Structure formats: C-alpha cells, structure tokens
C-alpha cells in the first residue's frame, strides 16, 4: 500500500471519541437541540425537550463536554451548554478522512479548541 498515509494515533483517538459520543441516539438528540438553539441552554431546558430524566441528561452532557462537542458556561449556580463550533465543524471532515476521502485533516490540538 504505497503512498497511503495513516492517521496519527492522537488524531485517531480523538475521532474515535467523537464517534463513540454520537453512538447514542439521546446524545444525538441533545447535541441537535443545543446546536439548533440560538443561545446556551440549561439542563432543565434540555430535559423539557427530550424524554429522559435530569440525571440521564447530565450524564450525556458530560460525555458531550468531554469530547468537546459541547462547551459549558457557568451562570451563577446553573450551567448552560452551547455547541463547540470548532469541534462540530471538524466532524464531517473527520468522517471523510477516516473513510479515505480527500478532506482537510484536523489534528487533535485543533479539535480541542
């Protein structure tokens, strides 16, 4: 396989984390809700829109924040969540790169922004 470039391990691990984070339909719903919102949303607002409890939403938000799809904004004692545009804009290209298509590869450092 001459001329084939393999992803570096750190980037492959970042991409794998993204794919794992989106492997749950509730997390996909939560990310979609946050991305569609015009402003950061609270856990309570998310709970109102998805059919799971607050503790479950919080657990899913932890995974989405750990992978940097979602960023947290503390507001007093509450926490509000917004989509991380830098990470989300990398995701389609990540899928292309993994599948061997021409796309701009993002490093794990860029995705962490």
Domain of residue 37, residue span? 9-111
- The per-residue pLDDT for 58 is 96
**Mean pLDDT across the stretch 10-31?**
90
Please report, for the domain that includes residue 82, its CATH number: 1.10.10.10
> Max alpha carbon distance in the chain (Å)?
56
User: 12 near 45, Cβ under 8 Å?
Assistant: no
4 occurs within a structural domain: no
1 occurs within a structural domain: no
101 occurs within a structural domain: yes
78 occurs within a structural domain: yes
81 occurs within a structural domain: yes
35 occurs within a structural domain: yes
Q: Residue 88: pLDDT above 80?
A: no
Top mean pLDDT of 37-46, 86-95, 97-106 is at 37-46
Which residue is associated with the tokens 């609270």? 42
- The per-residue pLDDT for 45 is 96
Continuous segment of H or E residues that includes residue 73: strand 70-75
DSSP string for 25-66:
HHHHHHHHHHHH-SS-EEHHHHHHHSSS-HHHHHHHHHHHHH
2 occurs within a structural domain: no
94 occurs within a structural domain: yes
Number of domains in the chain: 1
N- to C-terminal Cα distance for the chain? Answer: 34
pLDDT digits (tens, 9 = 90+) for 75-85: 999 999 999 98
- The per-residue pLDDT for 109 is 53
CA separation for the pair 98, 53 (Å, rounded):
34
Q: Which residues pair with 110 in a beta bridge?
A: none
């Amino acid at each position: 396989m001459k001329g084939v470039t393999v992803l570096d391990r750190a980037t492959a691990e970042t991409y794998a984390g993204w794919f794992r984070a989106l492997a749950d339909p509730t997390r996909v719903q939560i990310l979609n809700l946050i991305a569609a919102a015009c402003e950061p949303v609270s856990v309570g607002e998310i709970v109102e829109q998805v059919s799971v409890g607050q503790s479950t939403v919080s657990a899913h938000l932890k995974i989405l924040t750990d992978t940097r799809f979602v960023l947290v904004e503390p507001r007093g004692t509450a926490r509000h969540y917004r989509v991380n545009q830098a990470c989300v804009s990398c995701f389609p290209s990540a899928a292309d790169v993994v599948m061997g298509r021409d796309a701009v590869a993002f490093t794990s450092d860029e995705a962490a922004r």
